[in-house]
Amino acid sequence: MDKLLKSLGNLNSESLQEVSDRALALIVEKDDGEKQSFIDSVVRSTVGIGTSIAALFDQHLLRKSRSRGSHGLLRVAKWSDNV
């Protein structure tokens, strides 16, 4: 990095502007990539939490159905199938 910074001293103002423009473009690209990675991880976590909650409801409804016997709660589809 130090070598790179020292080499900038040999460039004219036009070349320095090009380096600056490219550096700023790279910063934006990396920031966008990091933001997207963060969003993706939040979505994955949310889906995992939703799946866990759906499983809890399924277990509760299944236990409720069993406790009522064969005349109890009729489940056509799992709740999580509708999510």
Q: For residue range 13-50, what is the model confidence (pLDDT) as tens digits?
A: 999 999 999 999 999 989 888 888 888 888 888 887 87
Residue 83 has pLDDT above 80, yes or no: no
C-alpha 80: how far from its chain's center?
Answer: 21
Neighbours of 62 (CB within 10 A): 13
pLDDT in tens, 71-80: 544 455 555 5
Contact by Cβ (8 Å): 58, 80: yes
pLDDT tens per residue across span 64-73: 666 665 554 4
Chain centroid to Cα 52, Å, comes to 17
Give the span between the Cα atoms of 1 and 71, in whole angstroms. 75
Residue pair 63/70 in contact (Cβ under 8 Å)? The answer is: no
- If one compares 68 and 62, the residue with the highest pLDDT of the two is 62
